[in-house]
Amino acid sequence: MTYPTAIGMTALPGVRLRLARLTNDLEQGRSCLLLLPARLVNGPGSPSEDLLDEVLHELGDYVLLPPAGTGDAAPLTADTWLPSQRAAPDTARWSGLAPVLDYDDGLGDLFGSAPPTASELGAPPLQGGPGRQAGGPSEAEALAGLLERLAKEVNLQGGTTDSNDGSGGDEEEGDVLTRLVRCRNGEPETRPVVVRGWRESAPSATGHLLRRMVAVTKEAGLPPGRGPRALVVATTDDLLPGLPDQLVREDVAVHWWWGVTGRLDTATVVALSRPPPDSSLARRQLYEAVTQATITEICGPFLDIASALAARWADGRPETLPNALREVVETELAPESFLLSDQPLARSPGAHPDETLLPAWNAAAVESWGGRLRRHPAHFLNNERAMASQVWLAQNHVLLPLLDASRERFTDVVRANARIPLQHLAEQYGPRRDLDESGVPPSTLIETMEVGAMWGAFRDGAFALTQRDRRHLRIIRDARNRLAHRELLDGEELQTLIKELCR
C-alpha cells in the first residue's frame, strides 16, 4: 500500500524554481527540451504528467500532443510525487521544528557505471535512411503522423500534402510547419506546441520537430516570441543519442532534470513526514533536530526514501538506522545492484549527467544535490563507513554550534573559580599568542580557551569545580573530541550530551 506524503512534488521550492526557468524560456520565445530520467516517466507513481500539468497551467494557452483524451495508453500518474511505501502515522503533520539544513563536505565516495557506447553522430535525423522501429512505424511515418496531429490541433488539415512526386514526408513537413508560421490571416501560431515525447513512437520525430520549428521561424524572419515554439518533454531513450548536446548549439533551451532539489527540499519533506514530538522539552526538540538532519544527509535528493525513512525511523538512534533504512529500501523499488557500485566518480556533477552517468540517472540511482553527486541511499547498506560519515556530518552540523556556545558560557565558571592569577591561567592554558599580541587581556584569552585545555587546567588544580560542573565539562569535552575526530555519537552518548546541553 502506498501512503502519500504531506507535500507534493510541484510544491517544493527547487521544483518550482526549475519549472519557472523553463516557463520563462518559453515565454521569451525559445523552444525547449525538458529531459526527465526514465524512472520519473515509467516508474510507479511517475510524476511526468504532474510536472507537465504545472507547466501547462503557467502557460495558459498551448497545443498538446498527443492531445488529452486520445486513445493512447494512459500514463502513470500520482496525486503526489513523494509516495512512501511505509505507513505514515495518521497524525503525521509538521513537527513544529524548522527544517534542519545540513551540509556536505564531500566525505561520501561516489560511484560510476559504464553505459553502452553511444552510436557515432552523423547526419541529422531522417537523412540516413529511416529505419523502422521494432514493432512500430518508421521514422518518416512517425514524423508524418506527428505533423498530421499538429495540423489537426491548429486547424491546418487542409492541403498538407499537395505533392505526388514521391517525396511525401518532406512536402508534408514543409507545408505544415510553413503554414504554422503564416497560420491564419498571415499571423503566426504563437501558442507553444507541447509534445509528450515518451508517447511518440520514433526517437527522431520530436527532435526533428524541434530543429525544424527553429529553422522555419528564422526563415520567416520572426523575432523571438512572435513565432512558433515547441516544448518537448522526453527521456534520453525517447531521443536519438547525442541530440541534447547538438541542440545546445542551436536555439533550443535544454533543461535536464538534474540537481533540481536541494537541501531545503529534502529537509522540508523530512520535517513534514516526521510524527510530532512527544514532548515540548528543549532536549526532545534538539534530539529531533539531529534525527531530521541525519535523514536529510543520508537520503539527499532521494525524497521518496527520505519521506519513508522519516516515518519509519522512530527512535532516531544511530544504532537502529541501518535496519530502518534497509526496511525502507526493501519496500521501495531500489535501483539494480550494478548501479550502486563503489567505483568513485568525479566530485563535480556538472550541468547535466554525462554519458557515463546516464544509465544510473535514468534509473534514479544517482543525482546532483548541493553541488555534489549523490548515490541512492541503498548504497549505504553495504558501506557502514560511508553511512557513519553521513551521520557524523549531521551530528556535527547541529551540535557543533551548541558545543561552542556551551564552551563560551563555561569560561565564566573558569574565571570565577580560578586558583591562580588569570594572567598565569591564560598563559599556561589559553591559545598560543603571537609576539604582537602581548597586550591582550587575560580574560579575552580565557574566553577562547578550548574545552580540552579547560579540563587539563582543572586536573592541574588551576581552578575548582563543583561535581555538577565537572560532569558538565567532561561530557562537553568528550563529545567535542569525538566529533573533532570525525567519530559519530551513539544513541546513549547523544542522549547524554543533549540532556547536558539543555540543562
Q: Which of 156, 191, 188, 194 is nearest to 175 (CA)?
A: 156
Q: DSSP string spanning 167-189? A: -THHHHHHHHHHHHHH-GGG---
Q: Which of 462, 446, 440, 437 is nearest to 408 (CA)?
A: 446
With contact defined as beta carbons under 8 Å apart, do 87 and 311 qualify?
Answer: yes
* Other C-beta atoms lying within 10 Å of the C-beta of residue 496: 16
With contact defined as beta carbons under 8 Å apart, do 29 and 229 qualify?
Answer: yes
Mean per-residue pLDDT, 416-424: 91
**Higher pLDDT pick, 96 / 462:** 462
Cell of 393: 556530518
- Which residues fall within 8 angstroms of residue 180, CB to CB, at 6 or more apart? 150, 154, 156, 188, 189, 216, 228
- Tell me the pLDDT of the chain averaged across its residues: 79
Mean per-residue pLDDT, 143-154: 86
**Higher pLDDT pick, 170 / 492:** 492
Spatial separation of the C-alpha atoms in residues 455 and 191, rounded to whole Å = 72
Which range of 155-169, 338-352, 455-469 scores highest in mean pLDDT? It is 455-469
Residue range 234-284, pLDDT digits in tens: 999 888 888 888 887 777 999 999 999 999 999 999 999 998 877 768 889
Mean per-residue pLDDT, 176-192: 75
Query: pLDDT at residue 100 above 50?
Result: no
Residue range 6-44, pLDDT digits in tens: 567 888 999 999 999 999 999 888 899 999 999 888 755
Residue range 324-337, pLDDT digits in tens: 999 999 887 667 76
Spatial separation of the C-alpha atoms in residues 177 and 181, rounded to whole Å = 7
Query: pLDDT at residue 87 above 60?
Result: no
Which of 97-101, 376-380, 475-479 comes out lowest in average pLDDT?
97-101
Cell of 260: 533540481
Query: pLDDT at residue 128 above 60?
Result: no
At residue 344, the pLDDT reads: 63
Which of 198-207, 214-223, 430-439 comes out lowest in average pLDDT?
430-439
Mean per-residue pLDDT, 295-305: 95
Q: What percent of the chain has pLDDT over 70?
A: 75
461 residue type, one letter: G
Spatial separation of the C-alpha atoms in residues 451 and 476, rounded to whole Å = 7
Burial 458-490 (b: 16+ CB within 10 A, else e): beeebbebeeebeebbebbbbbbebbeeeebbe
**Higher pLDDT pick, 93 / 444:** 444
Which range of 50-64, 235-249, 399-413 scores highest in mean pLDDT? It is 399-413
At residue 195, the pLDDT reads: 93
At residue 377, the pLDDT reads: 94
Spatial separation of the C-alpha atoms in residues 312 and 291, rounded to whole Å = 12
Query: pLDDT at residue 370 above 70?
Result: yes
